[in-house]
Chains A and B, each alone.
Chain A
Amino acid sequence: MEIIEQIKTSKSIDNQTEIQKICLHKLQSSPLPNPKSELWRLSNKSKFLNFLDYSINEKDPKFDAPYPNTSKSNIRLIIGENCQINLIEKNYSIQHLSEDALVKYIKEQISCFDQNENWSDLLNLSLSCTKNILGLKISGSKIPPIEIFSHASSNALNAKTLVIFLEKNCDIDLLQVNLGKDNSSLSQSTFFCLEENSSVNHGVVSYGENKSNLLNSLNVIQQKNSEYNLGSLHFKFNYARFEISIKQSEGNAKTNIKGMQITKKDEQISTYTKIDFRGPNGFLDQINKSLADDKSHAIFEGSIIVPKIAQKTDASQLSRNLLLSNLAQIDTKPQLEIIADDVKCKHGATISQLNEEELFYMRTRGITLTEASKLQLSSYFQEIISFIPVSKDRWDLLDKLLNEN
């Protein structure tokens, strides 16, 4: 209950937005997630409580993006800072969602929320003040790549919300970067709505600093003939959860996901995905990779739901994991829930260590064990990193990963 009291005391009832009031009301009956539920049973309780331990902060200090140099043609937006954008060009437009449209959409989403499954979103929307919610409506093609940053402040709990509407036939590359700070918690919720024939290459890169925490949830609704490609990477958080929910609302849509989490020291990072096919001819190709070192813990739980209406679904979910230490732990559980009888669905999981014979081969060519391990890890990372849009930054990112302690 403490977090709810904290939210309530941080602002008077008159200053709360309508959305905050609705979410707070919902949270009151479920002040903490159910630790016995499938989604939360492996979550480290003390780390999660540490997430909630920081005082709520709505004001951000000046932000110097440490993220690799952006290209001049990219559009860079920082949630919570000056996010005014109103671009109407020949081929495309990027505009703010009107407040009415934004509230209407979020309220619709909340009405479908399950208190336990969407606990992170409810918390986020209870915390997010208007300034920290960015809503965009994007249309057209040949749009410059967009980068959107969310960042935490030291010794504080920050919440940022992003809502994006892609109009019909729209096509974009969007990179979302979530940055933790020393001793901080960041709650990030993202809502994506892809209209017919729209397509997005969406990158989510989240990296923290010492003792930073992250609750990151992503809700995607795909209308027919849309294509959603997600490349994600989470690393260097004391505690992080990435919760992905994708609904192919009418089927006939394509989803490709390549995600990775890297844990070291005593970190815990988890990814939960729920892909819900609500019409026929849906397609999913998903691979999730975890790499766990030291005494860390990585978790992947994926579910694919194929009801009777979703005939001819073609879905594949693979979890590949690399365990670098005897004390590290990986839990993985890809699962299928199929009612339809004419579908092609497969899932699988592997856990392995660095390949000894590959290492020996490289060492017989004069490459040191450290370099050989780096080369091997680099090949493990590349499949995911090459899927993250905004190519200029990929190699800086790979470099950062390989040279992290």
Chain B
Amino acid sequence: MQSKMKESDPILEVENLSASTDNLPILKGVSLTIYPGEIHAIMGRNGCGKSTLSKIVAGHPSYNITNGDIKFLGQNINSLEPEERAQSGIFLGFQYPIEIPGVSNLEFLRVSTNARRKFLNKEELDTFDFEELVKEKLEIVKMDHAFLSRSVNQGFSGGEKKRNEILQMALLEPKIAILDETDSGLDIDALRIVASGIKKISSAETGIILITHYQRLLDEIEPNYVHVMSDGQIIKTGGSDLALELEKKGYEWTDNFTQET
């Protein structure tokens, strides 16, 4: 199955990426390639650089790329603005989705969706057409319509915020989704809803990176590859059994690994 995937071109290539913030090196030569249809999991201790990697791929302005390249669909995107990356199909699901008081969730989703549709040369949706589309997508994450009239993420529970992230992913139809600890703060039922949503949205054309600490998300969504990060580097890559082994042995087991070549 994996060789079949690799017949097509990669969606995302991270090549020997080093990055810093305030002159402090965070990533120290990360390489990662995602092909269509692949699901990758990235695991590692807190502070090892997992979230930073996701933010840098999404274009966070606080980080400087000091070496290496990020290629999306074959094009170098190092210098693209975050919105250009998003419009072209890179989605970042936040570990802590941001609350934006006073901005209605419905309008926020509509403006975002239209930005992506414009890039895809699809017709932009007016409020009425968008309502129809969003109603359909709400089903995927089992969210109530009432969430749309509230301010973005304001007053949402942890689980509701994560479902709202997956709703955005469903609307934006990205080529690659990086989901940063989407499972954190979710109870068992919410985790199943979120995981089932991710599975429904993903396809043979898309790639997914799951950043997680726990096996429980990977029980719901089986990854093709599991990467272990430590101190800004990927130190081990394996199949889904690597996550099971980590669960059993803890990160101490990885302490003696060095960066994979």
Contacts and interface: CB of A to CB of B under 8 A. Distances in A.
A and B from one complex: yes
Contact of B100 (A366, A369, A379): A379
B239 interface: no
Query: Of residues A362, A364, A382, which shows the largest number of chain B Cβ atoms within 10 Å of its Cβ?
Result: A364
B35 to A, nearest CB: 23
Given A360-B61, A367-B112, A371-B111, A382 B102 contact: yes
A362 B172 contact: no
B103 A363 contact: no
Contacts, number: 71
A380 B102 contact: yes
A365 B94 CA distance: 11
B83 A379 contact: no
B230 interface: no
Interface string B62-105: 10000000000000000001110111000110100110111100
A369 B102 contact: no
A368 interface: yes
Nearest to A370: B83
Contacts of B216: none
Contacts of B102: 378-380, 382-383
B81 A366 contact: no
Contact of B103 (A356, A369, A379, A383): A379
Interface string A383-398: 1000000000000000
B137 interface: no
A357 B83 contact: no
A369 B94 CA distance: 19
A380 B151 CA distance: 12
A5 interface: no
B193 interface: no
Contacts of A382: 102
Contacts of A366: 83, 86-87, 112, 115-116, 119, 172
Given A360-B60, A378-B103, A365 B81 contact: no
Nearest to A383: B102
Contact of B92 (A357, A364, A383): A364
A337 interface: no
B59 A361 contact: no
Contact of A363 (B82, B97, B100): B82
Contacts of A375: 100, 103, 108, 111
Interface string A109-126: 000000000000000000
B59 A363 contact: yes
A375 B92 CA distance: 20
B98 A363 contact: no
Nearest to B102: A379
B168 A365 contact: yes
19 contacts: A358-B98, A361-B100, A362-B100, A362-B112, A363-B59, A363-B81, A363-B83, A364-B82, A364-B86, A365-B108, A366-B116, A366-B172, A367-B115, A368-B83, A375-B108, A375-B111, A379-B102, A379-B103, A383-B102
Interface of B: 58-62, 81-83, 85-87, 91-92, 94, 97-98, 100-103, 108, 111-112, 115-116, 119, 151, 168, 172
Given A356-B62, A363-B86, 4 more contacts: A358-B98, A361-B98, A365-B112, A366-B119
